[in-house]
Structure 1
Amino acid sequence: MRGVSNFSKGEQEIIYEGPCRKYGNTSIRTFTGNDGVQRADYALSIPGQIRGISTGVLIDVEDLVGTICGAIATDSYPTNLGTTVYFCLPKN
């Protein structure tokens, strides 16, 4: 989102739209940092280098199970083989 204030909603910027692979944290050791703290509930593997995804970016994901809107990116790693984005589901 750009240009958000108390008086306007701002504009939504789409960084990537296309196929990717979503997978969940099925092990305590899967999505942890060097300090052992759990970082995310899910991860996305996106083909190609996608720049501009940083911590706090809101992510919308649509898969065969349903649609997740407003997931919060916790980490992003663009590499030569693709981009991995870790995110948490919004809690009610």
Structure 2
Amino acid sequence: MAQLHFTQQLARFMALPQVQTDAANLRAGLDTAFAAHPRLRGYVLDEQGHLRDNVVIFIDGLRSRERILLNDPLHADSKVYILQALSGG
């Protein structure tokens, strides 16, 4: 199963999950995570369901460029890292 890992920056808001999914694409994999952890959705997606500007996703070491459809394919052994950028000085 593909594994979704969420960055530690979100730890101050909620317990961070590591989610396993058999989803065929990123959107379905994220939906699996959001079903189990609904508050997570608002930190990752905007009101239109698009990836927030301050979030980056890497799938098997490659940055996902698709921020609207989120239809990147996932494989049974995929490692997905969802990173929230830090700001401040």
| TM-score, length basis structure 2 | 0.30
| TM-score, length basis structure 1 | 0.29
Larger radius of gyration: 1
More helix by share: 2
Higher RCO (CA < 8 A, seq sep 6+): 2
